[in-house]
Structure 1
Amino acid sequence: MTASNAPLGAVSRLLDAVCWICTLLTGTFMVTLIAIFGWLVWGRYVMNDTPTWVEQVALMLVVWITFLGAALGVRRSHHLSVDFLREAFPRPLRLLCTALALLAMIFFGAIMAWQGAALTAANMDRAVPMLGIAEGWRAMPVSISGALIALFSVEHLAALLAGRDKEL
């Protein structure tokens, strides 16, 4: 690693840790989601007593899994993209298209983070039915995901500008 890439490497390692935490959270939430649906089926069909809280917890978990998973997709470059047109361009134009797409992702992530934070703050006074926790917890992943999407896209852009576009 060259001296000019050292700070980028340290930031990448930090973002790897953030990515690992998000992966751990989404995996834990997925296992929890499966377990509570098992509890729902058991309660409804075996015990004849449907647990009413399962739907609200499931909705909350699905939102967290979806938004954290979207941020992970951006970090790992596993998100949906249509790149056949871009790949047909010569290398300089291809790099420009990639940079413009990353700038758009940074902008989109920043708007998500800003508006998600506003939505979270606006809903902290309302309670989720049957759970008694703030509705803002259901909106919080929008803000977190937006911030992570912007951050991960900045890292990809920095790698592109440093000439490490093969990693994208």
Structure 2
Amino acid sequence: MDDRNARPDFMSAIDTLLDRIAALCRVITGVSLVFLTVIFGWLVFGRYVLNATPTWVEQAALLLVMVIAFLGAAVGVHEHTHLAVTALRSAVPSWMRTVFVIVTDLAMAGFGGLMLIYGAKLTAFKWGSMIPLIQLPEGLRSLPLTIGGALILLFSLAHLLRLALGRDLRSDTFE
């Protein structure tokens, strides 16, 4: 019997929604990574072949790196592949793991909440100025921080809810 089918209906619906959000984040980060590679190829071509460096590439690359880093980190939290989330609790004896799982999820939820709050303040503060050379709002640089924080908070709270319902499927929770 599949454990996902044994979950309460609302938890199954939540998991489906969160899985779709994580899949969307993977697509966005993948497209961003491809675009980052293409524009750096253009930078090298422009600099060494055309002898005309496209200066906008560096500004666009900074924006893309923010998207990749923060959305990728949120997906890592959702899928339990973020090294910082599992390293410590995997190193302790099995009887301590549940406590460490709870502490880790609470810490990640708190960290995500702080990223959300302060990222939103920074985004709002910087929205009125423009990024040089690409003429996009400066607040776009901190928007991935805000969205990533919200997703980390959401994914961590879902982990805690699953744990409270006895439906936690993480392999490092129990040995």
Q: What is the TM-score with the length of structure 2 in the denominator?
A: 0.89
Which residue of the partner structure matches residue 138 of structure 2? 135
For 1:3-152, what aligned pairs fall within 5 Å after superposition? 5-80=8-83, 81-86=87-92, 88-90=93-95, 93-152=96-155
Can you give the 5+ residue segments of structure 1 that lack an aligned partner in the other structure?
none
What CA distance in whole angstroms lies between the structure 1 residues aligned with 2:36 and 2:104? Answer: 34
Count of aligned pairs between the two proteins: 164
What CA distance in whole angstroms lies between the structure 2 residues aligned with 1:104 and 1:84? Answer: 16
What CA distance in whole angstroms lies between the structure 2 residues aligned with 1:33 and 1:124? Answer: 23
Instruction: Report how far residue 84 of structure 1 moved.
Output: 4.0
Aligned residues: CA RMSD: 1.4
Return the letter of the residue paired with 1:104. A
Is the partner of 2:81 in helix, strand or coil? Answer: coil
Is the partner of 1:165 in helix, strand or coil? Answer: coil
Larger mean CA deviation between 41-50 and 27-36 belongs to 41-50
Is the partner of 2:103 in helix, strand or coil? Answer: helix
Cα gap change, 1:84 to 1:11, in 2 (>3 Å): closer
Runs (4 or more) in structure 1 with deviation over 6 Å come to none
Is the partner of 1:167 in helix, strand or coil? Answer: coil
Identity of aligned residues (%): 44
Instruction: Report how far residue 118 of structure 1 moved.
Output: 0.2
Question: Does the CA contact (< 8 Å) of 2:70 and 2:145 recur in 1?
Answer: yes
Instruction: Report how far residue 82 of structure 1 moved.
Output: 2.3
Return the letter of the residue paired with 1:129. P
Question: Does the CA contact (< 8 Å) of 2:114 and 2:149 recur in 1?
Answer: yes
Match 1:157 to one of 148, 157, 160: 160
Q: What is the TM-score with the length of structure 1 in the denominator?
A: 0.92
Return the letter of the residue paired with 2:170. E
Q: Deviations over 1:147-167 (max 9, x none)?
A: 000100011111111222333
Instruction: Report how far residue 45 of structure 1 moved.
Output: 0.8
Return the letter of the residue paired with 1:19. A
